[in-house]
Amino acid sequence: MFSLPLTTSERILKKAQEGHYAVGAFNAENMEMVQAIVSAAEELNAPVIIQTTPGTIRYASLGLYLANVKAAAETAKVPVVMHLDHGNSFSLAMKALRAGYTSIMIDGSKEVFDKNAALTKSVVDACKPSNIPVEGELGRVGGKEDDAESSGTGYTDPDEAVEFVKRTGVSSLAVGVGTAHGIYASTPVLNTKLVGILRGKIDVPMVLHGASGLSDDAVRECIRQGICKVNFATELRIAYTKAVQKYLAENLDTIDPKKFGAAAREAVKKLVMERTKVLGCDGKA
C-alpha cells in the first residue's frame, strides 16, 4: 500500500474524468522544481502529479527524488502523486514500486502490440497487490525527452486501445494524437477528434504527453474531448534555466546557489500555475 502523505494517480484522475478537467503532471529535476510545483498547486488548491523520467533518476536516484516530494507533500493541503514517467523496463518499474512511488508508467509503445501488452500487463499484475496504478502507452508520441525518443508520431488505433485496456488492466492510457516531446519546430496539428473517439470506446482516463509548447486552446480542446492528465516537462526546464541565466547575468558576483535557485523556483511556479488554470483543475483539490 502507498504511504501517506502521497496519494495515487488513479484517485485523482477518476475525479478529473468525472469533472471534465485534467490534472497537471509536471516533471521535476531538483528540489527547487518540486517546491515550485507543490507551492503552485497549493496556491490554486489543485491536485498535482510530480514525475521523474529514467534519465532524471539516473542523475540522482529514486530515493532522493521521492524524499523531496514526500517532504513537500507532508505539509501540503492538496493531493500529491509521485509518478514514474516513461518507465522503460519491468526492472525500473519494480524499483520505483519498492521505493514508494504511488503511480507507475511502463512505456512499451516502441514494441509491437503483443509485446507492449505483455510488458504492460506484467507491471500491472506486479503493482496490483500494493494498489499502485499503472499508466500504459499505445501509439507513439514523437520527439525526444530523456530516454523517450521516437522518429515519428503514431496515432492510437481505437480498436487496439479497447483490446489493450482489456488485456492489460491499466489504470490510465497515454495516447498518440499528434503531440511530440521536446520543443516544437512548428505548430503541431493535433487529431483532437481521435481523442473523442477513444473516449467513447475506453473507460480509463487518457493521458496527453508532449504538451510543452501547445497553445492553451489546443490543450483545452483535448481536455474537452476526454484527456484527464496532461504532461509538461520541457517548458519547465526552459523556464528554470532561463531564470538562472537571467539572474546570473544581472548579478555577476553571485556565488550562492540559493539566490539563483530561488529565482528559478519562482519562474517554474508561475508557469505551473498558468498551466494548472488552463487544465481547469484549480479549486479541485
Cell numbers 500500500 correspond to 1
CA dist 231 and 111 (Å) reads 22
Q: CB–CB of 62/95 below 8 Å?
A: yes
pLDDT of residue 2: 46
Structure confidence by residue, pLDDT tens digits, 17-73: 999 999 999 999 999 999 999 999 999 999 999 999 999 999 999 999 999 999 999
Q: CB–CB of 14/204 below 8 Å?
A: no
3-class state of residue 49 by DSSP = strand
**Of how many residues is the chain composed?**
285
Angle between helical axes of 62-74 and 31-44 (0-180°, round to 10): 30
pLDDT of residue 143: 45
Backbone phi and psi for residue 124, each to the nearest 5 degrees, phi listed first: -60, -45
pLDDT of residue 276: 98
pLDDT of residue 189: 77
Statement: 9-234+271-279 belongs to CATH 3.30.70.580: no
75 CB-near residues (< 8 Å, 6+ apart): none
For the entire predicted model, the pTM comes to 0.92
85 carries an active-site annotation: yes
Each domain of the chain, given as residue ranges in start order, spans 9-234+271-279
- Catalytically annotated residue among 85, 107, 146, 282: 85
CA dist 129 and 58 (Å) reads 27
Please name every residue paired with 35 in a beta bridge, in sequence order, or none if there are none.
none
Residue stretches of the chain with pLDDT short of 50: 1-3, 142-145, 149-151
